[in-house]
Chains A and B, each alone.
Chain A
Amino acid sequence: ETGVTQTPRHLVMGMTNKKSLKCEQHLGHNAMYWYKQSAKKPLELMFVYSLEERVENNSVPSRFSPECPNSSHLFLHLHTLQPEDSALYLCASSQGGLRGNTIYFGEGSWLTVV
């Protein structure tokens, strides 16, 4: 149990589907993140929310749309994805900024786009 819970753990979707990934953290942190992990690259930061406000958008295509309704919940809405978007999507949280503050990850959501 990492304190960061992601659902669903596995998702298969067609390129015309709309789906969402959900993340909930139980650590009392005030910053939440979406990362993408694929076989060919190290972890890539997608979005960061601090106190429910988006503070980073790392040049992510608009077919990925994040939502942070409160400091404990984070969503990633998916629409018209491409097969190359298939990857492990990791949610993470931290207390404040990253200087000396560890970031904790969830177990991830495996996404397959067909």
Chain B
Amino acid sequence: GESVGLHLPTLSVQEGDNSIINCAYSNSASDYFIWYKQESGKGPQFIIDIRSNMDKRQGQRVTVLLNKTVKHLSLQIAATQPGDSAVYFCAENYGSGYSTLTFGKGTMLLVSP
């Protein structure tokens, strides 16, 4: 299928492994963060979010960790499955306006059976 975001960093894992995808954000004023998953030929799909008053949040098979000291965000996927293969990107929001959400370039996750 079609894809965007060529020449992205790529993480290759085996099925069943745990995956960790990292994101460095730029604005120390950012107070809300979102992880999206984008499969080939599809739009970005919301995975999980976290506010700056938290340092960890868990969802179903996913955990997001936030380190405000070094402006770093990570997405952990437990027991990675082939269906998890996609581009993952983080977004940071630094205000209440409509244009204050900034997206990263993304990481491609490839899961081998």
* Contact residues of B: prevailing secondary structure: loop
Number of A-B contacts (CB under 8 A): 74
Contact A99 B99 (CB under 8 A): no
CB contact between B98 and one of A6, A56, A106 (< 8 Å): that residue: A56
Contact A37 B4 (CB under 8 A): yes
Contact A103 B42 (CB under 8 A): no
Contact B106 A108 (CB under 8 A): no
Contact A102 B98 (CB under 8 A): no
Among B4, B89, B93, the one with the most A-chain Cβ atoms within 10 Å of its Cβ is B4
Contact B99 A48 (CB under 8 A): yes
Interface segment, A12-20, A39-47, A63-71, A72-80? A39-47
Contact B43 A108 (CB under 8 A): yes
B95 to chain A, nearest CB (A): 7
**A55 to chain B: which residues have CB within 8 Å?**
98
CB contact between B96 and one of A87, A99, A103 (< 8 Å): that residue: A99
Contact B103 A98 (CB under 8 A): no
**A87 to chain B: which residues have CB within 8 Å?**
4
**A50 to chain B: which residues have CB within 8 Å?**
98
A90 to chain B, nearest CB (A): 5
Contact A108 B96 (CB under 8 A): no
A-B contact pairs, 30 of them (CB 8 A): A2-B43, A4-B43, A33-B98, A37-B4, A39-B5, A41-B105, A42-B89, A42-B103, A42-B106, A43-B44, A43-B89, A45-B99, A45-B101, A56-B97, A56-B99, A88-B4, A97-B96, A97-B97, A97-B98, A98-B32, A98-B98, A99-B32, A99-B95, A100-B93, A102-B34, A102-B49, A103-B34, A105-B43, A107-B42, A108-B42
* Residues in chain A within 8 A of chain B (CB atoms): 2, 4, 6, 31, 33, 37-43, 45, 48, 50, 55-56, 58, 87-88, 90, 97-100, 102-108, 110
